[in-house]
Amino acid sequence: MAELRPYQRKTIDQLWLWFEYHAQGNPCIVLPTGSGKSHVIAEICRESVQSWPETRILLLTHQKELIEQDAEKLLQHWPFAPLGIYSAGIGRREMDRITFASIQSIHRRADEVGYIDLVIIDEAHLVSHKDQGMYRTFLEALRQANPQLRVVGLTATPWRLGHGLITDGDALFDDVIEVTSIAQLQRQGYLSMLRSKVTKKRLSVEGVHIRGGEYIESELQKAVDKREDSELVVDEVIARAGSRKAWLFFCTGVEHARHVSDILVEHGVTAACVTGETPKAEREAILDAFKQGEIKALTNANVLTTGFDYPDIDLIVMMRPTMSPVLYLQMAGRGLRLKSDGGDCLVLDFAGVVAMHGPITQVKPPRKKGERQGVAPSKVCPQCEEIIGAGAKTCPSCGYEFPQEEHKADWYLRDDDISGLENIVMQVRSWQWRLHIGKSSGKQSLEITYYGALSDPPIREYLVVFHPGYAGEWAMSQLRDIAEQAGVDIMAQETPEALCEAMEAGRPPSEIEFRKNGKFYRVKQRIWKEEKEDGTDKSRSYFSQDEIYDGIGPGPFFL
């Protein structure tokens, strides 16, 4: 019998505890993509029926693939489970004490279904916030047989675009049970790391209108589905993919997905396309070939964001701009499952999705339609003292022009740090050295400022070579390593100022790895790249002295 991971066990325990303290209401379980929601569903079913043998459970979802996955996991936990499958897509219409059904096949069959104690909804964010739609109508019909019917939802994304949280308003769900997160599971080794680099090509959405909080699909496909752009994307993907074996492309529509697949084939990549128009048998054959490694690249349009469980996807290509954080997490989530080789998944975002929504560990729920943040803010014109709206650029009374304020994001994103956990890489173009004197302590240190592209922030680190004790000794060893790579003889420098001048004239690292910690940037690694005679890359790396200060405060202790 399959065993639960600790967070899965804790989730189920929290569910039973919730029911113990709430005689009415419906909770929704939130678990990240790839964390094993199907195992949680299976154990809820097993424990419910084995503890209360008369219990009747109905699982509802919208895809036959999800039904098949959930059924497979239930039989792993309970090989002789009283399981029925009710799905036209699967070709079965059976009911038992536990029935897994597609909502499309069963939503008009409430009389046939009869008395149900517990309904479980997989991908619960699809349930309408309003008292309408297939799910809400069907559940209301089931309540005619059992007014005490309880509902449990499961989702990785507890929001709906334009409506906010899954519990807001006249929602089906009353509370959220969330015991873990993507970041926690990645750190604990239960989810794979996602890694990404800034792409040279960025697909444009200029001229694409927005409806219902999302790009209009027909306009989006027209804007993005351009052969010249797709060829540039494919060229860059091939150049960056390296030895990665399973590439998954998210495209804007059917024609776009087909065109990208054709271009991949033209470039010598074994590729195929899956859309909602792909016949069932052909689709299954393509997916099987992809999983067997016979097809390297798979393009799709709106069909593989859910219900596609293939852990060894190691390259995700985003060519589908979206304003939906749910869709963003679903696309990125295809790469979160643990790989058979223990590797990671590279995400190449040509659509600007990561820059729009931020790291997947920091995605915020979308605002409700028409939501406002309290009382409308205002400001006073400094020239005529007129009270005007805070967003006004000019005063309507006197014409005063307000200086434009620089927008400060909640996070700084470089190299599409999609997990929000990894070091950020910057290609170094130059550096600057100077003697720094702490404002409060008066202590001296060496300040190094690294400069990259125009869009990069200057990154500073401090070598506390003049401090006594271990910190100073460690910083001095770092200085020696840096000077060796920079080609500078530090022993020949008689003053700190001379040392700074000599180091600044030396060879800077090719790139640095850093991480933002509060308002400071911490340099984690410096890399000097050299070429061997055979043209291959020969790199030397040096870790920063900041490694020993992690966790002691918001920044370097001597500032």
Q: State the DSSP string of 35-70.
A: S-HHHHHHHHHHHHHHHSTT--EEEEES-HHHHHHH
Question: Would you say 423 and 524 are in contact if contact means Cβ atoms under 8 Å apart?
Answer: yes
The pLDDT tens digits for 20-74 are 989 899 999 999 999 999 999 999 999 999 999 999 999 999 888 899 999 999 9
| 108, 113, 114, 118 alpha-carbon torsion, rounded to 10° | -110
Half-sphere exposure of 491 (CA within 13 A, CB side): 1
Nearest in space to 305 (alpha carbons), one of 62, 83, 517: 62
The residues of the chain scoring below 50 in pLDDT are: 370-378, 384-388, 406-415, 532, 544-559
- Please report, for the chain, the start and end positions of each structural domain, with discontinuous segments joined by +: 6-186, 192-357, 424-549
CA distance 44 to 50: 10
Question: Tokens at residue 33, please?
Answer: 């993509």
CA distance 196 to 414: 9
The predicted pLDDT at position 540 comes to 56
The predicted pLDDT at position 408 comes to 43
Answer whether 6-186 and 192-357 agree in fold.
Answer: yes
Please report the beta strands in 203-296, taking only residues with DSSP state E, as ranges in sequence order: 210-211, 214-215, 247-250, 271-274
Q: Which CATH number fits domain 6-186: 3.40.50.300, 3.30.1540.10, 3.40.50.10140, 2.60.40.1930?
A: 3.40.50.300
Question: Tokens at residue 236, please?
Answer: 């860059």
The predicted pLDDT at position 378 comes to 38
How many beta carbons lie within 10 A of that of residue 402, not counting itself? Answer: 15
Going across the sheet that includes 444-451, the strands are 430-437, 444-451, 459-463
- Tell the CATH superfamily of the 192-357 domain: P-loop containing nucleotide triphosphate hydrolases (3.40.50.300)
